[in-house]
Structure formats: C-alpha cells, structure tokens
Amino acid sequence: MAAVAAGGERWSLAGATALVTGGSKGIGHAIVEELAGLGARVHTCSCNAAELEECRQRWAEKGLVVTVSVCDVGDRANREKLMAVVKDTFNNKLDILVNNAAQMVVKPAVEFTGDDYSRIMATNLEACFHLSQLAYPLLRNASVGSIVHISSIGSCISYHGLAVHSIAKGGMNQLTRSLASEWAHDNIRVNGVAPGIITTEMCKDCKYIPCTAREGAMAAAAVGGERWSLAGATALVTGGSKGIGHAIVEELASLGARVHTCSRNAAELEECRRRWAEKGLVVTVSVCDVGDRADREKLMAVVKDTFDGKLDILVNNAAQVIFKPAVECTGEDYSRLMATNLESCFHLSQLAYPLLRNASISGGGSIVNISSTAGCLGCPGVVVYCIAKGIHCCS
C-alpha cells in the first residue's frame, strides 16, 4: 500500500479507525503496520493468541496504536463478538474494513471433503460478506467508509490443487462489485485487490501449477452448419422441470442423448416426464434437493446405475434467488443460496468425475455450469446470488 502525496510525502490517516482481519502475519500483518504507520488506530485479529500477543507487543514498541482480539473469522458467533469489540473500541465508528483472513488447502479437486469445502468457504468468503454486513452501520457513521477485500490472482486464472480457494476468491470479486453498487449511496467504497503469488507463510511451501490453455477449455465446432447428433450420449441436468433447465433437457434429448434430470417438486417433475415421453424423448427423473449433500450423493448413485457408470455431460443448472438488501440477508439465506447455487456445482462435479472419465463421446466428458450476467455486474438486492454466480465466472 504505497502512500505518496504531492511533494513525495506520505498522507495521513490520523484519526481514522480500521479493522484488518488476519493481521498477525503475511499480507495482513503488512497492512496493519502500514495503516498504523499512517496514523490510523487499527484493530486486528487472529486464531492464534500467542502469535497475536507477540505482534501486539512489537507494534507497541514501535509506537503503533494497534489493539487485538482472538477470533476465528470462519465462525459466525466469533465474527459477531469481534465486531462488538470493534464497535466499543472505536466508539461506534469504523473508517476502514480490510477483509484479509484466509485459509488454503492444496489438493486435487476430487479429494476435497465436505469439511474442507465448508471451512475454506466460511473463512475466505462468508466471513467477508458477514463482516461487511456487521460493519455497515459503523461504516455509515464514517464520513466516507471503505471496505477492501484481499482477493487473489487465483480468482482469475486456474491453479491445480486450489479449486476451492479459487472459488472463494472469485466469489469475493463479485461480492466487491455488488456491495460497491448497493452501498455507494451510503458513501461506502468497496474495492478488491488481487495479488499474485506472494511467499507468505500460508503458501511458501505450495507448488503452483497453472492450468494450460488446453486443459482450461475444450471447444467443439460442428461442421457444415448441420445440427450434430448426441446419439448414445448420456447427460445429467439439474433443475430440469422448468426454465432454462427444462429447455436444456429438451434440446439434449432431441439431439439423441439419454437425459436424467431432477427437481425438488415431485408433481411438477412427473408432469414433465409424461410430456417428454409423449414427444418420444428419453428422459428419466428423480426428486432431489441439490442444496442437500446427502440428496446429491443419492442423485449421482441413481445416475451411475441408470447410465451404467458413464456420464458424458453434466449441466449444473439448478439455482435459487432471494431479493433483499445485503444488510438484511440472514445466515440462513446465505447458506441456502450458496449450498444450492454453488456448493452443489462443486460437489456434483466431484461425484461425476469418475463417470465423466468414462465418457464415450468425442472430446471427452463435459461439464457446463449455468451462470448469469449477475456474475459479472453489481446487482443491488441480489448480492448472495451474484456472489455464487460470480464464482462460476471467475474460477
């Protein structure tokens, strides 16, 4: 964070207040020292009490005004306690919030467990959204509030072994856009910074292997302008009883593919199945709430049996949307939308991986994630939906 004004002098943040998460080491530690060095009163947090106290003592010796508290930002109750401390420490006003704390797990995508996914997403993404919500009234009390999200280059390009980390950082980018749009009228600026690889303690021992262009995308072009055939191909389309999913089911089946689809609504799904059968389309169905992990596992077991252990196409389409201001979204709202719109896509892709490796169509197995223009633009009122769809675009 370079701070140079006209004449080569560093500007002053005297009187300003700041909260920096994950400030005991790495990038967060550097941000704490920079803000405090410019005169701001800074509060920071870490999971490690001993490490945090050691930092506090060093900062005090340097004459920097930094207060600290132990906090696991991946835990909702801990976040609420942290913001209560910040509110009391800074007399109900906050000028700067830096969402920096993060975790990283490096392993192949198919090896991530549900616990891995939940822990990383809670720390690297949900914490940023929730802390921004909690900080909102304090930031409004500042003359011009500022939120800075520390993202990563991994939100824009692919790295083997960092699938969930990249998902979270891609979502952070879209959270930045959406909050910037929604909170601008409150004089709250929201910006993101996406550093490249920095050899901090978190990642110094990791081996980063960027995906090649060939691995990152597989393009297939039809010849002569004729509709191609999917005869013999198999496909799973989630949320196929209406809307975009319904259209995709009909298109794939009309091209000759055997399609399986799902929906939470049994009656609606059965009505669709009858209509498809009347049209001569080969479509099987099962009731499934893709927002539920156990339901997803049951769904893929059915698909495996139905298609004899092979799957050519997976279309992650099912989604939910909730319309309300960002500050009114509850933890339940966030969890439900992220489970349905994002986690299901990752988990179903993991479950489908061995079946897709057995794909028989030319070019190999194919996964299509149905995102949205909301994943690229700031859309007030649908922030959580934008976060989930932004991850599709960025990761």
Tokens of 62: 């340097």
Q: Is residue 90 in some structural domain?
A: yes
Confirm whether 81 is domain-assigned. yes
The answer to whether position 210 is within a domain reads no
pTM, two decimal places: 0.75
- Is residue 204 in some structural domain? no
- 17 and 161, same domain (yes or no): yes
In DSSP terms, 368 is beta-bridged to: 315
d(CA 210, CA 212): 6
What residue has token string 């990152």?
216
In a domain, 214, yes or no: no
CA atoms within 13 A on the CB side of 288: 30
Same domain, 264 and 159: no
Structure-token pair, residue 311: 């799957």
Report the residue count for the chain: 395
Residues 227 and 171 in one domain: no
What DSSP string runs through 121-137?
Answer: HIIIIIHHHHHHHHHHH
Instruction: Round to whole Å and give the CA distance between 232 and 209.
Output: 35
Domain count for the chain, please give it.
2
Q: 10 Å Cβ neighbour count for 142? A: 18
Judge if 160 and 37 occupy the same domain: yes
Average pLDDT over residues 32-53: 95
Do 225 and 189 lie in a common domain? Answer: no
The torsion angle over the Cα atoms of residues 264, 266, 267 and 269, rounded to 10 degrees, is 80
What is the model's pLDDT at position 225? Answer: 44
Q: Answer yes or no: is pLDDT of 96 > 90.
A: yes
Residue 376 CA: distances (Å) to CA of 111, 192, 281, 379: 29, 14, 35, 9
Which residue range(s) make up the domain with 79?
Answer: 13-193
Average pLDDT over residues 338-344: 91
Residues 105 and 65 in one domain: yes
CATH number of the domain encompassing residue 94: 3.40.50.720
Distance of CA 348 to the CA centre of its chain: 16
Task: Report the pLDDT value the prediction gives residue 5, as an integer from 0 to 100.
Answer: 41
**Domain match, 234 and 140 both:** no
Interval 371-392: pLDDT, tens: 877 666 667 888 888 878 876 5
Last residue within a domain, chosen from 149, 176, 193:
193
Query: 178 and 273 share a domain?
Result: no
Per-residue model confidence (pLDDT) at position 390: 74
As a whole number of angstroms, the distance between CA 47 and CA 108 comes to 26
**What residues have CB less than 8 Å from 204, skipping those under 6 apart?**
none
* 27 plus 168 within the same structural domain: yes
Whether residue 209 lies inside any domain: the answer is no
Report yes or no on 333 lying in a domain.
yes
Residue 259 has pLDDT above 80, yes or no: yes
Distance set, CA 75 to CA 117, 152, 236 (Å): 14, 22, 35
Beta-carbon-side half-sphere exposure of residue 157 (alpha carbons within 13 Å): 12
The residue to which tokens 């991850």 are assigned: 391
CB 104 within 8 A of CB 162: yes
| 125 vs 236: CA distance, rounded Å | 29
pLDDT tens per residue, range 260-312: 999 999 999 999 999 999 999 999 999 999 999 999 999 999 999 999 999 99
Asked whether residue 234 falls in the same domain as residue 378, the answer is yes
* 187-192: average pLDDT: 94
Q: Which residue has the tokens 């000759």?
A: 256
> Is residue 132 assigned to a domain?
yes
Q: What is the DSSP letter of 147?
A: E
**Shared-domain flag, residues 241 and 188:** no
Together in a domain, 185 and 286: no
Distance CA 376, CA 386 (A): 8
